[in-house]
């Protein structure tokens, strides 16, 4: 078993704004075990040792470090947990705990790090990235943002339809007076701004000189409001509030604002684009847009929960602490999704998988039909979360936005 075989950085450009802090060279395995049911399911374990010798830290991997690999339904996940013991750049003895996880197809990983070193305490909250350098020896290289070159990350609160919206604003390093484009990112039903493909896209855009703002809809994540009061129309209002916010930022080129959404967030993005128009939005990108939500409500079946659509209950318990309100069903029942979206006449890109059982790909195709000149990327066999390779959908979206917002193609 090879540790972190899928963690290659997508391009060297992604490392230009980072500096290397740790380089852990793997010296060999101490023991291993594995089991395999068939070609689709397997699990393996390997203990390993190693050492680190950089300007910031010198030490070794303590006994007990291990790499774990699991393959389930053809999807491989890898994780490594280990502790380094040594001295920091101030000469003080210290420990560094590292947990690194990756999914097949990812271009890089986001390690979790904790250290008792005062000199290296920035590692506890520095948003590091890592990859495997296997040119000569297996070396796990861990980088942190270079504060002079790296994109900045800021949490902001924006007044929305039902209270304040929690948002994360990421922007590239800009010269004094320089302006850049920005992408407003909308997560899906029951989600939040810090997970899934939308989060990954938000992280990658600043490496292409594009700012991003991803936010939690009302009743989601860290935003105010109750999930029970959430509807597609008030999520559209949330998105428009975020648009108003970014359009006032002094470093944003208001002629290069785009919107992107996944699943229900794709529906919200499309309808927001229709309401704002191409005069205000340079591009719209939809990932697995769940326009099926209207048909689901007409049939009286939302997220597998059945009800009478002509007399919907006051609340619908979806499980996992999610209570859906009647107003969501009533508004979705007659929601003019495509009628509103088709009022948008700007640049557009739709990405959908044929294996999507939550929102069948035909709903994405219809957007392609109503938006002449739009790009449509059909990923054969990919599901609603873009497995088996979510990074492919991310790459398509980021490449499209780069072409439209930066290169002007």
SS (H, E, C) the chain: CCCCCCCCCCCHHHHCCEEEEEEEEEEEEEEEEEEECCCCCEEEEEEEEEEEECCCEEEEECCCCEEEEEEECCEEEEEEEEEEEEEECCCCEEEEEEEEEEECCCCCECCEEEECCCCCHHHHHCCCEEEEECCCCCEEEEEEECCCCCCEEEEEEEEECCEEEEEEEEECCCCCCCCEEEEEEECCCCCCCCCHHHHHHHHHHHHHCCEEEEECCCCCCCCCCCHHHCCHHHHHHHHHHHHHHHCCCCCEEEEEEEEEEECHHHHHHHHHHHHHCCCCCCEEEEECCCCHHHHHHHHCEECCEECCCCCCCCEEEEECCEEEEHHHHHHHHCCCHHHHHCCCCCEEEEEEECCCCCCCCHHHHHHHHHCCCCEEEEECCCCCCCCCCHHHHHHHHHHHHHHHHHCCC
What is the per-residue pLDDT for 321?
87
What is the per-residue pLDDT for 27?
85
pLDDT by 10s per residue, the chain, length 409: 223 333 334 444 456 678 899 999 988 766 556 666 666 667 777 888 999 999 899 999 999 888 777 776 666 677 889 999 999 988 899 999 999 876 555 556 778 899 999 888 888 877 788 887 777 678 889 988 776 566 788 999 999 989 999 999 999 988 889 999 999 999 999 999 998 999 999 988 998 999 999 999 999 999 999 999 999 999 999 999 999 999 999 999 999 999 999 999 999 999 999 999 999 999 999 999 999 999 999 999 999 999 999 999 999 999 888 999 999 999 999 999 999 999 999 999 999 999 999 999 999 999 999 999 999 999 999 999 999 999 999 999 999 999 999 998 7
What is the per-residue pLDDT for 70?
73
């Amino acid at each position: 078993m090879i540790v972190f075989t899928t963690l290659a950085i997508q391009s060297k450009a992604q490392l230009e704004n980072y500096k290397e802090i740790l380089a852990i060279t793997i010296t060999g395995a101490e023991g291993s075990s594995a089991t395999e049911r068939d070609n689709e399911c397997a699990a393996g374990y390997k203990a390993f040792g190693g050492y680190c010798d950089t300007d910031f830290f010198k030490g070794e991997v303590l006994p007990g470090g291990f790499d774990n690999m699991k393959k389930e339904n053809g999807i491989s996940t890898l994780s490594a947990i280990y502790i380094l013991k040594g001295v920091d750049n101030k000469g003080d003895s210290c420990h560094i705990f590292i947990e690194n996880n990756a999914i097949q197809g990812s271009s890089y990983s986001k390690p979790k790090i904790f250290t008792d070193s005062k000199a290296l305490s920035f590692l506890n909250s520095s948003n590091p990235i890592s990859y495997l350098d296997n040119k000569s020896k297996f070396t796990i290289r861990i980088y942190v943002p270079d504060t002079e070159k790296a994109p900045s990350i800021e949490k902001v609160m924006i007044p929305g339809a039902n209270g304040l919206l929690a948002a994360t604003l990421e922007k590239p390093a800009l010269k004094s007076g320089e302006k850049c484009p920005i992408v407003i990112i909308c997560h899906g039903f029951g989600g939040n701004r810090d997970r899934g493909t939308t989060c990954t896209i938000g992280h990658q855009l600043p490496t292409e000189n594009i700012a991003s703002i991803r936010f939690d809809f009302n009743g989601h994540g860290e935003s105010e409001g109750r999930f029970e009061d959430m509807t597609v129309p008030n999520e559209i209002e949330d998105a428009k509030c975020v648009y108003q916010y970014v359009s006032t930022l002094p470093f944003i080129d208001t002629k290069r604002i785009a919107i992107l959404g996944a699943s229900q967030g794709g529906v919200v993005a499309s309808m927001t684009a229709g309401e704002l128009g191409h005069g205000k939005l340079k591009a719209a990108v939809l990932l697995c847009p769940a326009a099926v939500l209207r048909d689901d409500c007409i049939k009286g079946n939302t997220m597998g929960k059945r009800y009478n659509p002509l007399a919907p209950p006051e609340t619908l318990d979806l499980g996992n602490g999610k209570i859906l309100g009647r107003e969501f069903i009533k508004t979705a029942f007659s929601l003019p999704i495509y009628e509103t979206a088709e009022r948008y006449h700007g640049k557009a890109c739709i990405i959908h998988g044929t294996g999507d059982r939550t929102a069948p790909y035909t709903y994405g195709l219809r957007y392609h039909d109503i938006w002449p000149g739009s790009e449509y990327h059909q990923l054969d066999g990919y599901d609603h979360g873009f497995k088996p390779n979510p990074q492919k959908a991310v790459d398509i979206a980021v490449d499209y936005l780069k072409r439209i917002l930066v290169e002007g193609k």
